[in-house]
Amino acid sequence: MSASRIDVAGVSVSPDHYIDGRRVASDDTFACVSPIDQRHLGDISSGAQAHVDAAVTSASLAFPAWAALGAEGRLPFLRRFAEAIGRRADAFATLESHDAGVLRSRMAHGVVPSAMQNIAWFAEHALSLQDRTIDTPQARHWVRHDPAGVVAVITPWNSPLLLATWKSGPALAAGNTVVLKAPEWAPLTSSLLADCAQEAGLPPGVFNLLQGAGALTGAALVSDARLARISFTGSVATAKWIAKTAAENLVPCSLELGGKSAFIVLADADLDAAAATAALMYRNAGQVCLAGTRLLVHADIASAFTEKLRQIVERLVVGDPRDATTEIAPIIHMRQLERVQGFVERAVAGGARVLWGGARHRYGEQYFAPTLLTDLHQQDEIVQQEVFGPVLTLQTFASDDEVVDMPSGTDYGLGGVCYGEEAHAMAIAQRVRTGFIWINSFGIRDLAAPFGGIKRSGIGREGGDWSFEFFCDVKDVVVPRQPFKASFSHR
Ligand code: NAD
């Protein structure tokens, strides 16, 4: 391991790539800056073509032996991998709060346990993949899920540890080897993940990490013809580029992209519960792909609902993500803050009314106040485009027929929330076009369930068997029931 580890609030982390079971430094570096106070946390290695080549070569060489282990053989490695993550729970929380502004409390109670599960659950689940059979009068079809090869995993900055494990877990469990490209605005927890892979004894090349900018390191990785799969989470613009590039080599891609999901509040909803859940859309400073950022509220209860939401929002604690009481943390990067601010300013210039927020928050330079905008038209930019900040919009509707079409009124189709009397909400949910929708709840995820969006929110599903369908090559081994008689004639 490189001697050049950096120290972030007492946690030692490598700034380098992890290739072929060891740390590799680059001459070129990029700065890792904390969103909390713009403090320089360290210089991170920036991957060039040679690093990408080395990582993919190592992963290719490691693949046959890792695949040959079978799901049972891989299980102890992956259990140790998950345990190594758990042992570093505190360190992960420190790093992700410093480099991504994620709440420490969320790391401890949500992200780190989920990251462990992402590795351990898929490793267990892979055991049930083998030996599916289809029996017909003619033959037994022995359907195998074979490992596909080298998988490129590319993750965004808003939840780097969770997403790295969400993709690497099933990819590794299925017998593939992985090259992870970490997000350049939040590179640190991916580096600690590589320490965990090493401590767990994953053979060199099974799990590799590249640091660097998307346009450089990421672009070189997805252009590599040796890849078997690309699993990407990020923006629509990057996904289009990746899909085009992967098409050159016919490499299958799974694309989990942005959202502009609806949060429907029907007239028969429990307004206290709906308002409490709506306030959660400000979590992670609104930098959550699946947040229901478009509030669609029945006109009859709109003012009562808005007043309840206002009372909750007024009490939200904006502050330092390291403090246990903080609920609203900073925006990841000054560029992202300016992007959020630009959306709000253009909306207001176009006639939108600010019900609360609407500007930077006084707590710190990189903070934006929880915001609600109304008096909007469906074609307004703020209604159509993903802001990825603590900005919600509110539109009203008068009937079920009107509201079922509103969620599909953008190019996105990731998630959704519907509050109302359960049967009523279920009836609406069935008519709404989206990847998933929560009834009287939000954010319930189960590793066995499919996750993904429609339209510009993505292509493909991950989670449970859907992850394995993507990360495996399905092979049908056909065994005839009667001795096979070869004949040119079909008589
Ligand atoms: P982004 O597309 O800018 O970057 C995502 C990753 O892609 C980063 O690691 C980046 O370095 C890399 N990248 C950029 N250009 C690349 C290229 N040409 N080739 C290969 N890799 C490249 O997205 P972001 O700003 O980091 O993340 C925010 C976006 O992610 C939002 O749109 C959000 O909705 C989306 N997101 C979606 C989900 C989901 O599950 N659907 C989850 C989280 C975030």
| Ordered alpha helix ranges (H), 174-253 | 188-199, 219-222, 236-249
| Cα 152 to Cα 445: distance, rounded to the nearest angstrom | 24
Cα of 257 vs centre of ligand 1, distance in Å, is: 7
Cβ(38)–Cβ(201) under 8 Å?
no
Q: What spacing in Å lies between the alpha carbon of 31 and ligand 1's midpoint?
A: 19
Judged against a pLDDT cut of 50, whether residue 107 lies above it is answered with yes
**130, 142, 141: which is closest to 74 by C-alpha?**
130
What CA–CA distance (Å, rounded) separates 396 from 378?
Answer: 11
For residue 450, pLDDT beyond 60: yes
The DSSP letter of residue 37 is T
Nearest residue to 179 via CA among 153, 156, 216, 200:
153
Show the beta-strand stretches assigned E in 55-200: 132-135, 139-147, 150-154, 177-181
**Mean pLDDT in the chain?**
96
- Is residue 217 within 8 Å of 46, Cβ to Cβ? yes
Q: Which protein residues are within 6 Å of ligand 1, measured from CB? A: 154-159, 181, 183-184, 214-215, 218-219, 222, 233-235, 238, 241-242, 256-259, 289, 386, 388, 414, 458
Write out the H or E segment, with its range, that includes residue 427: helix 422-431
Rounded to 5°, the CA angle 208-241-115 comes to: 40
* Rounded-to-integer distance, Cα 36 and Cα 102, Å: 10
Pocket test of ligand 1: the residue of 56, 114, 154 to mutate, having most ligand atoms within 8 Å of its CB, is 154
Probe residue for ligand 1, chosen from 118, 158, 222, 238 as the CB with the greatest number of ligand atoms within 8 Å: 238
Residue nearest to atom 28 of ligand 1 (CA): 234
C-alpha pair distances (Å), 443 with each of 283, 388, 448, 453 = 11, 17, 15, 15
CB 111 within 8 A of CB 159: yes
Put the strands of the sheet holding 353-356 in their side by side order: 353-356, 371-374, 391-397, 294-298, 262-265, 416-419, 438-439
DSSP letters for 296-365: EEEGGGHHHHHHHHHHHHHH--B--TTSTT--B---S-HHHHHHHHHHHHHHHHTT-EEEE--SB-TT-T
Check residue 361 and give its pLDDT: 97
* Per-residue pLDDT, 128: 86
What's the rounded mean pLDDT across residues 19-45?
A: 97
In this predicted structure, the answer to whether residue 46 has a pLDDT above a threshold of 60 is: yes
Reported as a pLDDT band with limits 50, 70 and 90, residue 489 is: confident
- Report the pLDDT value the prediction gives residue 410, as an integer from 0 to 100: 96
CA–chain centroid gap for 483, Å, is: 50
Region for 286 from its dihedrals, namely left if φ exceeds 0, alpha if ψ lies in -120 to 50, beta otherwise: left
Q: 16 pLDDT exceeds 70?
A: yes
- Read off the pLDDT of each residue in 439-468 and give the average, rounded to a whole number: 96
| Protein residue closest via CA to atom 23 of ligand 1 | 234
Considering the candidates 96, 184, 256, 327, report the single residue annotated as catalytic: 256
CA distance 468 to 60: 19
pLDDT band at residue 44 under the 50/70/90 scheme: very high
CA of 456 to the centre of ligand 1 (A): 13
Give residue 491's pLDDT. 59
CA 232 – ligand 1 centroid, Å = 7
Query: Which atom of ligand 1 lies closest to the CA of 336?
Result: 25
Q: For residue range 148-168, list pLDDT tens digits in order.
A: 999 999 999 999 999 999 999
132 vs 30, higher pLDDT: 30
Residue 85 DSSP class: H
Q: What is the pLDDT of residues 58-71, one digit of tens each?
A: 999 999 999 999 99
Q: Whose CA is nearest to atom 9 of ligand 1?
A: 183
Q: Name the residue of 221, 235, 387 whose CB sits within 8 Å of the most ligand 1 atoms, as the mutation to test its pocket.
A: 235
What is the Cα gyration radius of the chain? 24
Q: What proportion of the chain, given as a percentage, has pLDDT over 70?
A: 99
**6-8 and 11-13 beta bridge pairing:** antiparallel
Q: Structure tokens of 231?
A: 């699993």
The type of residue at 234 is G
Residue 130: pLDDT band by 50, 70, 90 thresholds? low
462 is catalytic: yes
256 is catalytic: yes
Residue 203's pLDDT is 98
In tens, the pLDDT along 265-320 reads 999 999 999 999 999 999 999 999 999 999 999 999 999 999 999 999 999 999 99
pLDDT of residue 129: 79
pLDDT-derived band at 1, boundaries 50, 70, 90: very low
Of the pLDDT bands very low, low, confident and very high (cuts 50, 70, 90), residue 101 is very high
Query: Is the confidence at residue 134, as pLDDT, over 90?
Result: yes
Residue minimizing CA distance to atom 22 of ligand 1? 214
